[in-house]
Chains A and B, each alone.
Chain A
């Protein structure tokens, strides 16, 4: 059982949140190129799990890696400079947002869905030999949980009794597909079937995530084999910033534009039966409604009710101010470097 640092947990949550908002601004300004998958909605998972990280542990991340990097203590200026494609970035501007690596911190990223799981298993194999008691953390999403790489890792990690914690950040979506529509069985039951200890947790609650991780890691660090944490969380910005579906859901014009094309196609000659076409239209509409519902502020894990984590308003304000100052300074430093 680790000691719970309530202030530290709150600070971690706020740091991830503030970092992502800073990245959003830079991306909106056009200073960051390519796709940008923010982890807004996953902050409590990253903060709650990573609070248990110890020096010597290893971490593998997916295409939404910033939360883990911030919580791991990788210098924020280095990460920001990397996102800006700057020579002084974490990977000299060569890697970018989906390919962040810090060898010093033993934390790596891949943009290939599902791949963090077996990479994490490899980290765990190395740790088992080189640093008994250390653990590997592998983060992925509910979409990745259907990838062969991930499913094979459940078996491999269990058969080899690897010190691996697999964390599923379940935001409900596999890109634009509602995961439940294309998934069979219960994810926790799947993991248990392979012999992992596994838990469901409310990924919006940092304290719950912290306690669940604490229990699972006790098992992992004791050398009793891998564990699986399934954390239901949210996706507040769509698959990536500028997600067309999100814009269609939010903006009437954009939505109407997309709708026109779809309705036109639905009335083309030669195609599916009328019933099939109507059902397709209905499903698409339902997806957009579902997506829009998920974007609401009520799904924001960083908007904690007063008294959460036993912190009074004053303590929270102090931490918020400190975090704002820290992130602001990092952004200034990184953008000055990039200039």
Chain B
């Protein structure tokens, strides 16, 4: 076990894979400076500087992966992945299905995500729901340095495409680059346990959630920075006599359905704490899975509802916070059982003219 910071753990996982396998290479905009340690160790033939041409270099990486390499592509911020989304949506993620598993695409995409430092709505999105909606594409969102190493290592060992999202509040360098910019006296709500910790240097399997706190009254399902917010809320609620279980999904796709459903069945109440957009994403998916498994559980969610505003106080109010989680759990416990069927008339049928 070694103590290290979040991004060091990801760098180490990549370095270990590069040292073990000549086919692993790193490419992307600014990687010689962003990942200077890897550049100095492996040289320009393994760490390739790219122009700001994400569409071209991500699709090229798909081709390189198909032809025998195992590329790691850095997309600076996940907000910028949209200009290259075709590479993932229509190519990397489709290959295995199109060939019935006869050809696969071992590709890792590393990208910074998340808000909480006042950079506006085009540089602080989570977007893991958008990515995880694509069949064939893995998406992981570590919340601790140990998982950062372990999930990256598993992504590198996987023979299909996986996106590794590192939250900027957890990474010292990103927060320094885009948050403080070296200004003293600026503070951000950085969860200490996510920022730095012991790393076992062992893979963490894709698709397995971790129970971070056991409880009986309500299950908080979360990932990334929000896990730490959920844990802080659970501690506060514990003092009120409310017992919260906290599940860290770690991997959005594949999703640990069994863990979520089992916990929901036991507590009967689920609160999803998700920094991604509320509608048409992960939180709704979890509600659907619980319902599909015949579990009748009270359900609520604390997510990001709209475009993230620039002003710090508005941003803070828009993101999942300890305060919002505590309120939502209290409401969830106060609500009585679901209303019985209403007596209102069935809907009117509209026919085409």
Q: Is there a chain B Cβ closer than 8 Å to A102's Cβ?
A: no
**In the complex, which range does the number of interface residues on chain B fall in?**
35 or more
How far does the alpha carbon of A281 sit from the alpha carbon of B40 in the complex, in Å?
Answer: 6
Q: Are A97 and B33 in contact (CB under 8 A)?
A: no
* Residue in B43, B76, B120 whose CB lies within 8 Å of A272: B43
Q: Are B19 and A270 in contact (CB under 8 A)?
A: yes
* Residue in A35, A148, A266 whose CB lies within 8 Å of B40: A266
Q: Is there a chain A Cβ closer than 8 Å to B123's Cβ?
A: yes
CB distance from A144 to the nearest CB of B (A): 6
Q: Is there a chain B Cβ closer than 8 Å to A252's Cβ?
A: no
**Contact flags B278-293 to A (C-beta < 8 A → 1, else 0):** 0000000000000000
A284 contact set on B, CB distance < 8 A:
32-33, 36, 39-40
Q: Are B180 and A242 in contact (CB under 8 A)?
A: yes
Number of interface residues of A (CB under 8 A): 67
Q: Is there a chain A Cβ closer than 8 Å to B181's Cβ?
A: yes
**Contact flags B30-57 to A (C-beta < 8 A → 1, else 0):** 1011101111111111110111111110
**Contact flags B80-118 to A (C-beta < 8 A → 1, else 0):** 101100000000000000000000000000000000011
A295 contact set on B, CB distance < 8 A:
none
CB distance from A250 to the nearest CB of B (A): 11
Given A96-B120, A148-B83, do A175 and B29 touch, yes or no (CB 8 Å)? yes
Q: Is there a chain B Cβ closer than 8 Å to A174's Cβ?
A: yes
* Residue in A28, A177, A264, A275 whose CB lies within 8 Å of B29: A177
Q: Is there a chain B Cβ closer than 8 Å to A181's Cβ?
A: yes
Q: Are A277 and B43 in contact (CB under 8 A)?
A: yes
Q: Are B181 and A240 in contact (CB under 8 A)?
A: yes
Q: Is there a chain B Cβ closer than 8 Å to A2's Cβ?
A: no
Within 8 A of A (CB), among B187-246: none
B313 contact set on A, CB distance < 8 A:
85
Q: Is there a chain B Cβ closer than 8 Å to A99's Cβ?
A: yes
How far does the alpha carbon of A174 sit from the alpha carbon of B313 in the complex, in Å?
Answer: 32
How far does the alpha carbon of A22 sit from the alpha carbon of B50 in the complex, in Å?
Answer: 34
Q: Are A34 and B43 in contact (CB under 8 A)?
A: no
- B37, B44, B122, B178 pick with most chain A CB within 10 angstroms: B122
Given A174-B51, A182-B51, A284-B32, do A242 and B183 touch, yes or no (CB 8 Å)? yes
Q: Is there a chain A Cβ closer than 8 Å to B185's Cβ?
A: yes
Q: Is there a chain B Cβ closer than 8 Å to A113's Cβ?
A: yes
A268 contact set on B, CB distance < 8 A:
15, 41
Q: Are B314 and A272 in contact (CB under 8 A)?
A: no
Given A98-B120, A149-B83, do A279 and B309 touch, yes or no (CB 8 Å)? no
* Residue in B37, B121, B181, B309 whose CB lies within 8 Å of A35: B181
How far does the alpha carbon of A118 sit from the alpha carbon of B280 in the complex, in Å?
Answer: 29
Given A33-B118, A240-B181, A241-B181, do A262 and B314 touch, yes or no (CB 8 Å)? no
Q: Are A242 and B182 in contact (CB under 8 A)?
A: yes
Q: Is there a chain A Cβ closer than 8 Å to B186's Cβ?
A: yes
Q: Are A99 and B52 in contact (CB under 8 A)?
A: no
Within 8 A of A (CB), among B110-151: 117-123
Given A33-B117, A36-B181, A242-B180, do A175 and B30 touch, yes or no (CB 8 Å)? yes
Q: Are B42 and A287 in contact (CB under 8 A)?
A: no
How far does the alpha carbon of A87 sit from the alpha carbon of B310 in the complex, in Å?
Answer: 11
Given A35-B181, A244-B176, A272-B42, do A114 and B52 touch, yes or no (CB 8 Å)? yes
Q: Is there a chain A Cβ closer than 8 Å to B330's Cβ?
A: no
CB distance from A81 to the nearest CB of B (A): 10
How far does the alpha carbon of A240 sit from the alpha carbon of B120 in the complex, in Å?
Answer: 15
How far does the alpha carbon of A82 sit from the alpha carbon of B309 in the complex, in Å?
Answer: 11
Q: Are A262 and B311 in contact (CB under 8 A)?
A: no
How far does the alpha carbon of A34 sit from the alpha carbon of B50 in the complex, in Å?
Answer: 25
**Contact flags A12-45 to B (C-beta < 8 A → 1, else 0):** 0000000000000001101001111000000000
Q: Which A residue's beta carbon lies closest to that of B45? A: A276
Q: Is there a chain A Cβ closer than 8 Å to B266's Cβ?
A: no
A86 contact set on B, CB distance < 8 A:
311
Interchain residue pairs with CB less than 8 A apart (10)? A30-B186, A85-B313, A93-B311, A95-B120, A111-B122, A112-B82, A112-B83, A179-B51, A181-B49, A182-B49
Q: Enumerate chain A interface residues (CB-CB to B < 8 A).
A: 27-28, 30, 33-36, 82, 85-87, 91, 93-99, 110-114, 143-144, 146-149, 174-177, 179, 181-183, 240-245, 247, 258, 261-266, 268-273, 275-277, 279-281, 283-284, 287
Q: Enumerate chain B interface residues (CB-CB to A < 8 A).
A: 15, 18-19, 29-30, 32-34, 36-47, 49-56, 76, 79-80, 82-83, 117-123, 176-183, 185-186, 307, 309-314
- 13 more A-B contacts (CB under 8 A) besides A28-B183, A175-B29, A263-B40? A33-B118, A34-B178, A35-B123, A94-B307, A111-B120, A176-B32, A177-B30, A179-B51, A182-B49, A247-B182, A261-B37, A266-B41, A276-B45
Closest 8 CB pairs of A and B: A242-B181, A33-B118, A276-B43, A96-B310, A85-B311, A272-B43, A265-B37, A34-B119
